[in-house]
Each structure stands twice: as structure tokens, then as C-alpha cells.
């Protein structure tokens, strides 16, 4: 193989909103991401799963998360749920992971960041093809190290380096330390290292708890005092100005019955809410600063121009009010009261534990409907770009539909490595469902997926199936009617006008595709999550 095969740098932000970074309409200072996005291809119809670990499973395998072992998020599964096939809670043996194939094909494989695809050494990055790795294994934790709580007991956040559990230093801050580690791995390469690299940098930011250094937060003091509705209007105006959405787009109305309107908040409540957004912005800027450290290093070493950079969020912005969860909300609220200081002046520090709620989240997902955890566009249409001088389609805005499953086949094609198909190292595996982006990035085609194939989503009992620009959506109450709705995303990206009664034949076609998706991927249709259950069952 040619020694000129490109390097790969895949960067994942955790719960980042669609319009949070500057190149996608945001006011947060993200000069390093913006520089990459403007010279690359900004993707406006790129889709993830509705939540973090399912997306990561799809990214690492090129296939659906129900097949790869993350059929649901076990952190919020109902008590007593035992994983069915595809619901093991870790990346299973039915799939081969992208780093395994790249390593086998001669790539140096490196990772630093959040894994969330297994919490043992046997299911860690080290076991799935990464030669060097530093990883936060579970879903999250304090950005300053240390554990958060679960429903049943205090849980220490678990970090590994290669094949060992490790402690983190006292000066740990997630975005800084993950970057330090990746740069360390880059520098440790020998001077005669000729292998190209695959570097995976999945940040924990800006996942809750929202925490950032005081000096970073201070830069945004007062910036959000007008509230989330004002921010939403500004973001939408910027998206239209940048050509990232249509000039006449109608945004879905904000859905936030569990949170007060800004005008109905007391001045004290407004101050706390605005501070949470200030901390969130500081986390995003700090992540961007760290990404700049990586790209600066690659530029100094002459490797940036031969590095394909792919950036994405793992789902839409996090809009949950965690203390309102049916089963665990009261417990979480009590733990916060006992162990954390969420006074105004302490918000964002290591001993605070906060999130910013559905109104700020929907300022970032607009014009789309809702946010993380939903199969609406606000939960699954995410910020993403691809940057590499070798692609013809650079400096453009890409409107073709694509998904996170397309990343693995794209990198394999660029690396000249074939997916093994149905067998790997003596075990049976499933083929990839994603499609390579290379023909689209090279201006050879104007789409990634054909207009006939169905692409499905399911999580927490919330469902969707898409074919071309048509999308059928099923949301249980209270967020939906508990029946299938139909939307034409080409003219209604906000999923506002239900066309199910107007085009019953189109809905019937999509529901046939849905049935195929369920059968092919082993989807359990009964919810297995605390979001959709009656808490009185467990009193």
C-alpha cells in the first residue's frame, strides 16, 4: 500500500447543539473549529442516533446500534432489564470495530476521551483495536475527575490507559487532559514511524455536569441575560444568513412544559439559568482551544494537510431536566442537595452539578423539533463537517442526507482497506450498513444514499423511518400523539405539518420499511427505559 495514505482525526463532541459553533451560526468563540469547517464541507443533513452510546456504536462499526450491542442505554433501562441480543450494553462480537480493521491494515490507532461502549478492560478501547488509549469508560462524570452518583450507590468514574485502570491527577480537567494524552501519544511515535494514524478524540464536553474554569466562564458573563428565546432567534437568523437552512424555514415551537418561560422566572431564577448557559459556552470554547492544540501540532509536524478531519456531535443538544426523570429524579435532586453547591457564584466549579434544560437546548437545535433522546430532527440531526485538501467538495455546504454509520466505510475506502464482510478472525460478523462518503466528497455524486433505501431510528420507544425527504415519526405521549406522523423534510424541516392523512400511501410505504428495519436489526419495540415507565411499579 502507498505510504501516502491519509491520516484520520475523528473528533466527537458530547451533546453539542447544531448551531453552537461559529461556523454553524453560534456566538461562542470557536476559531479552531471554524477554520476547519470553513475550508471543509459543512454537512447540514448529517444524522446520529438520539443519544451518546448508540451513536458511538454506529461510528465504530458502520452498522446499527441495535446490532452492535447498544440497543438501549443500560444506564436508564428499567430495573431488572437483562440485555437481549444486541442489547448487551457493550460493543459485542457480532461486529468488527473500525480501529481493529485500521490497525490490521497498517494504521497506528490512538484514542483519548469518552468511550461509553463497555466498562471493563475486556470491553475497553484496548480490546477493540486501539494500540494506545486513555478512556473514560462510562457515560460521564465530573469534568474534574471523581465520581457522580447512580440510583443505587456512589459510582466512581472509571478511567483506563491501555489495559489498566488508572487514577487521574488532581489538576484534571476533561478537555485539557484528553488533549494532553493524545498529544503525548503523537509525540511518542518514533522518528522512523511510517504508519499513518487514526486518532479518535471523543470529548466529554459539553455533557453535563456543566463545569468550566472560572476564567473561561467570566468571558461570557452577561452574554445570555436575554434568555433562550432571544438566543434562538439570533441563531436562526445566523443559520439563514450562512445558508445553512432555508430563508423561509419555520422552526418547530419550543417544547418545554417542565420548565418555566423566561418571562415567568424570578430575577434570581433567570440569573441561575443564564449562568448555566455561560458555563456551557465556556466548555465549548475550552474544547475548541484544545482542538487548536491538536491541529497546531499537526501543522508544525507537516501532517495536517494529509489528515482527514471529521467532526461531529454524538446527538442533539441535551435538553433533559434530569431531576424530573420518573424513576430517579427525586433521588438525583436529593443527592445534589446533600453533596453539591449550586449557588449562583459556585455554578460551574468542581463541586457543582447542573444542566441547562430544554429551552437553551432548543435554542441550539432550532429549527428542528426537540433535542437529545428524541428521534425528531432535534435529537438526531447534528453539527458535522469533513475537512481535507484531497476532497474536491471543500469550502462548500453539503445538503446530502448522511449518517454516522457512513464514517467507517468512508475511512476504510480512503485507507484502501476492505471490510471483511461476514467473518472476522473466525467469528461471524455483520456487514456495514453505512455508505462511503468518498464519491460525494469527490463531487462524483450528489447524494450519499439513494432515494429508495429506508433508514431507521429507535431509542426509548421513540421511533422514526426515513426514505429520501420523507420521514415517519412515532413519539409516545406526552411528547407526541402515540401514533405515526408523516413529514416532508424538504419543505418542513421543523416537523410541524403532519401529512399522514394527506399521503396515506406514502406513510404505508414507510411503515413497511420500518417493519423491515425492526426485523433486520432485532429492535425491541417495548420500551426498556425509565423515561417511559410508571414509577409506582417500583415503589
Instruction: State residue 150's pLDDT score.
Output: 44
**For residue 386, is it within any domain?**
yes
Sheet bearing 396-398, strands edge to edge: 164-166, 159-161, 132-136, 108-114, 197-202, 7-13, 307-313, 384-387, 41-43, 396-398
Instruction: State residue 216's pLDDT score.
Output: 98
The CATH number covering residue 198 comes to 3.40.720.10
Instruction: State residue 47's pLDDT score.
Output: 98
**Which residues, in sequence order, are bridge partners of residue 387?**
309
**For residue 367, is it within any domain?**
yes
Which DSSP category does 312 fall into? E
Instruction: State residue 2's pLDDT score.
Output: 44
- Work out whether strand 307-313 and strand 7-13 pair parallel, antiparallel, or are unpaired: parallel
> Half-sphere exposure of residue 322, counting CA atoms within 13 Å on the CB side?
20
How many domains are contained in the chain?
Answer: 1
- What is the rounded distance in angstroms from the CA atom of residue 372 to the CA atom of residue 379? 4
**For residue 374, is it within any domain?**
yes
Give me the residues of the chain with pLDDT under 50, please.
1-2, 150-155, 537-539
* Containing structural domain, residue 277: 7-58+97-404+435-453
- CB contact burial 501-539 (16+ within 10 A = b; e otherwise): eeeeebbebbbebbeebbeebebbeebbbbbbbeeeeee
- What is the rounded distance in angstroms from the CA atom of residue 539 to the CA atom of residue 112? 41
**For residue 101, is it within any domain?**
yes
Angle at alpha carbon of residue 231, lines to 229 and 235, rounded to 5°: 120
**For residue 364, is it within any domain?**
yes
- Residues taking part in catalysis: 52, 116
**For residue 507, is it within any domain?**
no
Instruction: State residue 152's pLDDT score.
Output: 37
**For residue 141, is it within any domain?**
yes
**For residue 396, is it within any domain?**
yes
Instruction: State residue 326's pLDDT score.
Output: 65
Amino acid at each position: 500500500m502507498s505510504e501516502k495514505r491519509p491520516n484520520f482525526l475523528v473528533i466527537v463532541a458530547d451533546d453539542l447543539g447544531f448551531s453552537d459553533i461559529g461556523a454553524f451560526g453560534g456566538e461562542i468563540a470557536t476559531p479552531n473549529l471554524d477554520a476547519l469547517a470553513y475550508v471543509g464541507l459543512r454537512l447540514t443533513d448529517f444524522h446520529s442516533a438520539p443519544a451518546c452510546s448508540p451513536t458511538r456504536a454506529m461510528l465504530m462499526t458502520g452498522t446499527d446500534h441495535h446490532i452492535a450491542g447498544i440497543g438501549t442505554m443500560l444506564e436508564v433501562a428499567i430495573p431488572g432489564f437483562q440485555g437481549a441480543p444486541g442489547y448487551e450494553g457493550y460493543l459485542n462480537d457480532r461486529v468488527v470495530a473500525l480501529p481493529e480493521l485500521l490497525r490490521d491494515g497498517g494504521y497506528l490507532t490512538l484514542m483519548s476521551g469518552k468511550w461509553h461502549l463497555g466498562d471493563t478492560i475486556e470491553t475497553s478501547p484496548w480490546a477493540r483495536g486501539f494500540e494506545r488509549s486513555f478512556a473514560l469508560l462510562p457515560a460521564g462524570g465530573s469534568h474534574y475527575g471523581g465520581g457522580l452518583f447512580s440510583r443505587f450507590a456512589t459510582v466512581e468514574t472509571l478511567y483506563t490507559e491501555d489495559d489498566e485502570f488508572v487514577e487521574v491527577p488532581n489538576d484534571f480537567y476533561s478537555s485539557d487532559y484528553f488533549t494532553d494524552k493524545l498529544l503525548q501519544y503523537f509525540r511518542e511515535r518514533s522518528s522512523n514511524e511510517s504508519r499513518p494514524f487514526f486518532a479518535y478524540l471523543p470529548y466529554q464536553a459539553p455533557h453535563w455536569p456543566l463545569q468550566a474554569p472560572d476564567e473561561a466562564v467570566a468571558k461570557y458573563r452577561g452574554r445570555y441575560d436575554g434568555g433562550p428565546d432571544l438566543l434562538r432567534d439570533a441563531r436562526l437568523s445566523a443559520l439563514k444568513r450562512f445558508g445553512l437552512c432555508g430563508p423561509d424555514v419555520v422552526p418547530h415551537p419550543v417544547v418545554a412544559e417542565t420548565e418555566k418561560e423566561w418571562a415567568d422566572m424570578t430575577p434570581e431564577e433567570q440569573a441561575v439559568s443564564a449562568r448555566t448557559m455561560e458555563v456551557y459556552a465556556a466548555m465549548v470554547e475550552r474544547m475548541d482551544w484544545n482542538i487548536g492544540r491538536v491541529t497546531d501540532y499537526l501543522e508544525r509536524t507537516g501532517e495536517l494537510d494529509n489528515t482527514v478531519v471529521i467532526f461531529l456531535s454524538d446527538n442533539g443538544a441535551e435538553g433533559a431536566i434530569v431531576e424530573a426523570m420518573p424513576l430517579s429524579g427525586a433521588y438525583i435532586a436529593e443527592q445534589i442537595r446533600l453533596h453539591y453547591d449550586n449557588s449562583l457564584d459556585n455554578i460551574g466549579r468542581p463541586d457543582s452539578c447542573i444542566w441547562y434544560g430544554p429551552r437553551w437546548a432548543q435554542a441550539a437545535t432550532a429549527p428542528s423539533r426537540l433535542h437529545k433522546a428524541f428521534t425528531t430532527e432535534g435529537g438526531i440531526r447534528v453539527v458535522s463537517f469533513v475537512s481535507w485538501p484531497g476532497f474536491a467538495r471543500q469550502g462548500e455546504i453539503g445538503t446530502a442526507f448522511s449518517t454516522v454509520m457512513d464514517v467507517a466505510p468512508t475511512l476504510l475506502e480512503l485507507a484502501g482497506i476492505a471490510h471483511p464482510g461476514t467473518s472476522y478472525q473466525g467469528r461471524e460478523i455483520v456487514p456495514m450498513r453505512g455508505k462511503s462518503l468518498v464519491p460525494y466528497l469527490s463531487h462524483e455524486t450528489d447524494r450519499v444514499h439513494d432515494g429508495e433505501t429506508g433508514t431507521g431510528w429507535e431509542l426509548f420507544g421513540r421511533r422514526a423511518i426515513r426514505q429520501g425527504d420523507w420521514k415517519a415519526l412515532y413519539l409516545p405521549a406526552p411528547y407526541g400523539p402515540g401514533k405515526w406522523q408523516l413529514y416532508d423534510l424538504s419543505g418542513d424541516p421543523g416537523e410541524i405539518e403532519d401529512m399522514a392523512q394527506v399521503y396515506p400511501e406514502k406513510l404505508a410505504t414507510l411503515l413497511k420499511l420500518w417493519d423491515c428495519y425492526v426485523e433486520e436489526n432485532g429492535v425491541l419495540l417495548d420500551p426498556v427505559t425509565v423515561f417511559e415507565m410508571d414509577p409506582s411499579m417500583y415503589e
